[in-house]
């Protein structure tokens, strides 16, 4: 009886072993593990990084951001000219083809840009409403007229949402089919999308820089569990994994088969303060909070020393970052003094925490302890992330930690959201300073880079002085790859340069 | 033949069950605070953009009307559109059914393959060391948290021994089985523990039953007594236990699918809940409800076939 079962067991194990041996990895296909699967390939219908990062492999844009993340460089537009009044942009398109072999024309570019501005399903209409008209005067020439001058306009063309799609393709396939199996303008085409599991990309032979691409293909594989994803790359079943938790870096660095990448990002974690809530409207109270928080301790415990203390809302490595911005060193006594001077006693604050987010929860407990030292009582309210957003928007909070990564190179986007006093109430903080408001609007229109840089320096100083929020830390993108993978790099805006990635024979 | 009458009217009961499930999930998922439009657009969304998305998906309509639309869609064999994936929920769910179905199926088969021999050994050596060992092991099997067990299995079988893949779901049938080995083992280790305890108890009873004693008195060898009388008689309660556990099993797949990155319904459900993708949550709940009802129905058919005394 038992023997029979053993036999069956043996046969099962043997067959599974032989299957295992028969599956050989396709040469030159890079497999990358990530937390979630893509949601669409329609560039205008998503706001998620997880989608954007794949768009950069599949679509090209008119103007790209370079590897350093601080300069623009030609993409599908070979060159461009701006009229003196800053209202008319004339782009010359380069000779390039879509994956179906048809030429990429100025007509396609105009179509793509008007679509992100006008389409009902576009999540980015507001960012492109500055476009008045976009016309192809001939197949190689695109003329865009703006409603008003806009210094960040060129930068917005580099955003993955503004990816160039095929007009004819979209019209014949329809949006739903295109979103599933798109006609590519970038380095790779979508060979197959196994929903919930993986996106399989194949080298696009019609890409205008096809010579630059070494990989035969890329597979973006969804492995939601952090532990499993790391084990997958450790066992060599995938070539690379992104979203490495801070806590795993040291262990992975010790593995001689792996290389851990700490690539500069534009991520900043910060503590939002609701300026409309009671004593938080007083500048001294907000200053006291800043003095009471030991950012070094946050960097050391939460990011395992991998982050860096933040001193401005414009992150280090991003355009116009102010390096010597005002910093308030950790000083709980000074915090107490400031509170006393402001006549504030027994300050009690509600701190909104994203439940289930390990890092957010750690920061919350740490800040609660630190603020206690300065005599401030903090009540932690753990909420589901989707719910915290609603509460932040409604102003139903005193403190909360959030983070931001830049979508575009130009600082205007973040500055407008955070300090521009527009519809989102300065990123839910309800911060008010008319001088800052005016300067933000002015900087958007200033076309002289030197003057503009000075304006952003001033904005950073003023905002920091007002304690519009409390800058906590900058942190890198943390990715890991096998040793045989070369050039696996993510720029500060999150773009993976897979066109330059090489997969060597594994030893 | 009238014993099988329930086969005809039981499926009708599915209708009120599904109606109840649809109302409950419809209300529950909307009671969780949070807004699908905001999740979709992120924190940078302007109020106008959010209002536009809410209008597009009919989220600005009163609840009763939204439910009415949902029923109307259902009558046309549609389940609405996913806010996150922007495609039909039915289409989305269909792509995810197979991995979960396979996972449940392989887990159940594996559980039976573990439970039947173990309980046979234990029952036939009742009170001896083998019996105690089986009972201790099965108690431990119930106690392990699945996500921990899963990681341990991965570390041992995939990373250390390199026998099975760490995660994922294969392409052709054999490849899929190979990928499902560890996930279904994770489920089977706890499920078989439950089954073993029940089956062993039933076997011990059947071994001492009058039928078995009578058979032995007629000079029937113990082995044949076991196969002919003991096993069939002890299977009935276990099959019902298995059917009851299917609900729990489906819940278990949610955890196991996430750990092993299997692109099934469980993972879809989790992401849908976090994204407040109402239509997808409703769709998955309906499919799970149908599956549970269907499996219990099948268990009833098997029970009636195995034991002629039972009437339903």
Residue A9 pLDDT class (50, 70, 90 cuts): low
The answer as to whether A9 is a domain residue is no
For position A228, which CATH number holds?
3.40.190.10
Question: Which chain A residues touch B52 with a CB distance below 8 Å?
Answer: 120
Q: Mean pLDDT across the stretch A424-428?
A: 88
Yes or no, beta carbons of A19 and B175 under 8 Å apart = yes
Q: Which of B34, B52, B154 sits opposite A231 (nearest CB)?
A: B154
Q: Mean pLDDT across the stretch B156-165?
A: 90
Least confident of A185-194, B60-69, B154-163, B224-233: B224-233
**Where are any strands of DSSP class E within chain B?**
none
Phi-psi region of B122 (alpha: psi -120 to 50; beta: other; left: phi over 0): alpha
pLDDT at residue number A390: 83
Min Cα–Cα distance to chain B from A461, Å: 23
Q: Which residue has the tokens 């099993």?
A: B249
Phi and psi dihedrals of A403, rounded to 5? -135, 165
The answer as to whether A1 is a domain residue is no
Residue A169 pLDDT class (50, 70, 90 cuts): very high
Structural domain ending residue among the three candidates A170, A189, A219: A170
Report whether pLDDT(A5) > 60: no
Report whether pLDDT(B306) > 80: no
* Co-location of A495 and A441 in the same domain: no
Q: Could you give the number of structural domains in chain A?
A: 3
* Co-location of A101 and A246 in the same domain: no
* Co-location of A433 and A305 in the same domain: yes
pLDDT digits (tens, 9 = 90+) for B87-141: 889 989 998 999 999 999 999 999 999 988 898 888 888 888 888 888 888 888 7
User: What domains can be seen in chain B, in order of their start residue?
Assistant: 2-75 (no CATH), 96-306 (1.10.3720.10)
Yes or no, beta carbons of B46 and A422 under 8 Å apart = yes
Yes or no, beta carbons of B46 and A424 under 8 Å apart = yes
Q: Which of B34, B87, B162 sits opposite A386 (nearest CB)?
A: B34
Min Cα–Cα distance to chain B from A282, Å: 26
Q: Mean pLDDT across the stretch A40-58?
A: 93
Q: Given CB atoms, is A423 within the 8 Å cutoff of chain B?
A: yes
Residue A17 pLDDT class (50, 70, 90 cuts): very low
Question: Which chain A residues touch B96 with a CB distance below 8 Å?
Answer: 195-196
Question: Which chain B residues touch A225 with a CB distance below 8 Å?
Answer: 167, 258-259, 261
pLDDT digits (tens, 9 = 90+) for A323-376: 999 999 999 999 999 999 999 989 999 999 988 888 999 999 999 999 999 999
**Is the whole-model pTM more than 0.90?**
no
3-state secondary structure of A314: coil
pLDDT digits (tens, 9 = 90+) for A321-333: 999 999 999 999 9
* Co-location of A160 and A188 in the same domain: no
Strand A240-241 and strand A29-34: pairing?
Answer: parallel
Express as a percent the part of chain A with pLDDT over 70: 94
pLDDT digits (tens, 9 = 90+) for B178-233: 999 999 999 998 888 888 888 888 888 888 888 888 888 888 888 888 888 888 88
* Co-location of A122 and A257 in the same domain: no
Size of interface A-B (CB pairs under 8 A): 156
The answer as to whether A231 is a domain residue is yes
Report whether pLDDT(A10) > 80: no
CB count within 10 Å of CB A348 equals 11
Yes or no, beta carbons of B86 and A45 under 8 Å apart = yes
The answer as to whether A499 is a domain residue is yes
* Co-location of A460 and A393 in the same domain: yes
Contacts of B80 (CB under 8 A, 6+ apart): B69, B70, B73, B88, B89, B279, B282, B283
Give the residue numbers spanning the domain of A75. 63-170
Residue B237 pLDDT class (50, 70, 90 cuts): confident
* Co-location of A256 and A339 in the same domain: no
Q: What is the DSSP string of A451-489?
A: HHHHHHHHHHHHHHHHTSEEEEEEEEEEEEEETTEE---
The answer as to whether A8 is a domain residue is no
* Co-location of A318 and A374 in the same domain: yes
* Co-location of A202 and A325 in the same domain: no
Structural domain ending residue among the three candidates A170, A186, A215: A170
The answer as to whether A348 is a domain residue is yes
- Rounded Cα distance between A368 and A356, Å, is 18
For position A160, which CATH number holds?
3.90.76.10
Q: Of chain A residues 195-254, which have a CB less than 8 A from chain B? A: 195-197, 221-225, 227-229, 231-232, 234-235, 237
Averaged pLDDT of chain A: 91
Contacts of A369 (CB under 8 A, 6+ apart): none
* Co-location of A392 and A460 in the same domain: yes
Report whether pLDDT(B176) > 60: yes
pLDDT at residue number B64: 87
For position A429, which CATH number holds?
3.10.105.10
Please say whether the beta carbons of A270 and A469 come within 8 A. Answer: yes
The answer as to whether A94 is a domain residue is yes
**Minimal Cα distance from A12: which residue of B?**
B178
* Co-location of A258 and A142 in the same domain: no
* Co-location of A214 and A68 in the same domain: no
The answer as to whether A10 is a domain residue is no
Find, among A413, A427, A423, A457, the residue nearest to A439 by Cα: A457
Q: Given CB atoms, is A174 within the 8 Å cutoff of chain B?
A: no
Q: Which of A196, A383, A385 sits opposite B263 (nearest CB)?
A: A196
Structural domain ending residue among the three candidates A124, A155, A170: A170
Q: Mean pLDDT across the stretch A256-267?
A: 95
Min Cα–Cα distance to chain B from A398, Å: 17
pLDDT digits (tens, 9 = 90+) for A185-239: 999 999 999 988 999 999 999 999 999 999 999 999 999 999 999 999 999 999 9
Q: Which of A23, A235, A389 sits opposite B162 (nearest CB)?
A: A235
């Amino acid at each position: 009886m038992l023997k029979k079962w053993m036999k069956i067991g043996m046969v099962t194990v043997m067959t599974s072993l032989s299957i295992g041996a028969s599956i050989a990895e396709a040469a030159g296909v890079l497999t990358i593990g990530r937390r979630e699967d893509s949601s669409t390939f329609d560039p205008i219908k998503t706001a998620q990084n997880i989608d954007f990062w794949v768009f950069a492999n599949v679509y090209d844009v008119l103007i790209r951001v370079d590897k350093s993340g601080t300069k623009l460089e030609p993409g599908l537009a070979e060159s461009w000219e701006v009229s003196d009044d800053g209202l008319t942009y004339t782009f010359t398109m380069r000779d390039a083809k879509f994956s179906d072999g048809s030429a990429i024309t100025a007509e396609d570019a105009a179509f793509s840009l008007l679509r992100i501005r006008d389409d009902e399903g576009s999540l980015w209409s507001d960012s492109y409403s500055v476009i008045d008209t976009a016309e192809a005067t001939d197949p190689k020439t695109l003329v865009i007229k703006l409603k008003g001058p806009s210094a960040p306009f060129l930068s917005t063309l580099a955003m993955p949402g503004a990816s160039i799609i095929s007009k004819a393709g979209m019209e014949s396939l329809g949006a739903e089919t295109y979103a599933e199996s798109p006609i590519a303008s970038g380095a790779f085409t979508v060979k197959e999308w196994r929903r919930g599991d993986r996106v399989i990309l194949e080298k696009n032979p019609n890409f205008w820089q096809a010579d630059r691409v070494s990989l035969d293909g890329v597979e973006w594989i969804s492995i939601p569990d952090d532990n499993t994803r790391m084990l997958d790359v450790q066992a060599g079943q995938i070539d690379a994994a992104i979203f490495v938790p801070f806590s795993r870096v040291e262990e992975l660095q010790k593995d001689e088969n792996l290389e851990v990448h700490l690539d500069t990002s534009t991520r900043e974690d910060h503590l939002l303060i609701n300026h409309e809530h009671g004593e938080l409207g007083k500048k001294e109270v907000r200053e006291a909070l800043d003095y009471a928080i030991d950012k070094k301790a946050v960097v050391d415990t939460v990011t395992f020393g991998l982050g860096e203390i933040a001193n401005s809302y414009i992150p280090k490595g991003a355009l116009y970052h102010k390096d010597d911005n005002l910093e308030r060193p950790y000083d709980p006594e000074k915090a107490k003094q400031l509170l006393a001077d402001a006549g504030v006693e027994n300050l009690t604050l509600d701190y909104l925490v994203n439940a289930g987010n390990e890092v957010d929860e750690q920061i919350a407990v740490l800040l609660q302890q630190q603020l206690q030292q300065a005599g401030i009582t903090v009540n932690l309210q753990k909420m589901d992330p989707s719910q915290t957003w609603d509460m932040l928007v409604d102003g139903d909070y005193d403190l909360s930690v959030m983070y931001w990564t830049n979508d575009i190179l130009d600082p205007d986007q973040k500055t407008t959201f955070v300090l521009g006093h527009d519809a989102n109430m300065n990123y839910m903080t309800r911060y008010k300073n008319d001088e800052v408001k005016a300067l933000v609007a002015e900087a958007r229109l200033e076309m002289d880079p030197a003057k503009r840089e000075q304006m952003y320096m001033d904005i950073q100083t003023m905002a920091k002085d007002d304690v519009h929020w409390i800058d906590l830390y900058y942190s890198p993108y943390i990715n890991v790859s096998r040793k045989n993978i070369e050039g696996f790099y993510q720029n500060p805006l999150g773009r993976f340069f897979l066109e330059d990635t090489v997969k060597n024979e594994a030893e | 033949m009238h014993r099988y009458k329930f086969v005809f009217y039981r499926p009708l009961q599915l209708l009120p069950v599904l109606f109840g499930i649809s109302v409950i999930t419809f209300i529950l998922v909307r009671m969780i605070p949070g807004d699908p439009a905001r999740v979709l657009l992120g924190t940078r969304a302007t109020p106008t953009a959010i209002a536009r998305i809410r209008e597009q998906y009919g989220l600005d309509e009163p609840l009763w009307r939204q439910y009415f639309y949902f029923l109307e869609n259902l009558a046309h064999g549609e389940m609405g559109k996913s806010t996150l994936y922007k495609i039909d929920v039915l289409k989305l769910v269909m792509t995810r059914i197979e991995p979960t179905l396979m996972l449940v199926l392989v887990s159940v088969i594996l559980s039976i393959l573990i439970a039947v021999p173990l309980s046979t050994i234990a029952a036939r050596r009742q009170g001896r060391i083998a019996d105690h060992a089986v009972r201790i092991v099965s108690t431990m099997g119930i106690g392990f948290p699945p996500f921990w067990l899963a990681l341990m299995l991965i570390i041992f079988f995939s990373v250390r021994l390199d026998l099975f893949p760490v995660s994922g779901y294969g392409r052709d049938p054999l490849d899929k089985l190979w990928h499902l080995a560890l996930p279904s083992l994770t489920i089977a280790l706890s499920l078989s523990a439950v089954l073993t305890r029940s089956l062993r108890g039933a076997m011990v009873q059947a071994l001492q039953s009058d039928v078995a004693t009578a058979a032995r008195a007629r000079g029937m060898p113990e082995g044949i007594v076991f196969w002919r009388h003991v096993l069939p008689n002890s299977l009935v309660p276990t099959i019902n236990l298995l059917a009851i556990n299917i609900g729990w099993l489906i819940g278990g797949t949610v955890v196991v699918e996430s750990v092993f990155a299997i692109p099934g319904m469980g993972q879809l459900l989790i992401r849908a809940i976090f994204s407040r993708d109402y239509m997808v949550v409703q769709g998955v709940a309906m499919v799970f409800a149908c599956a549970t009802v269907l499996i219990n129905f099948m268990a009833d058919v098997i029970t009636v076939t195995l034991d002629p005394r039972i009437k339903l």
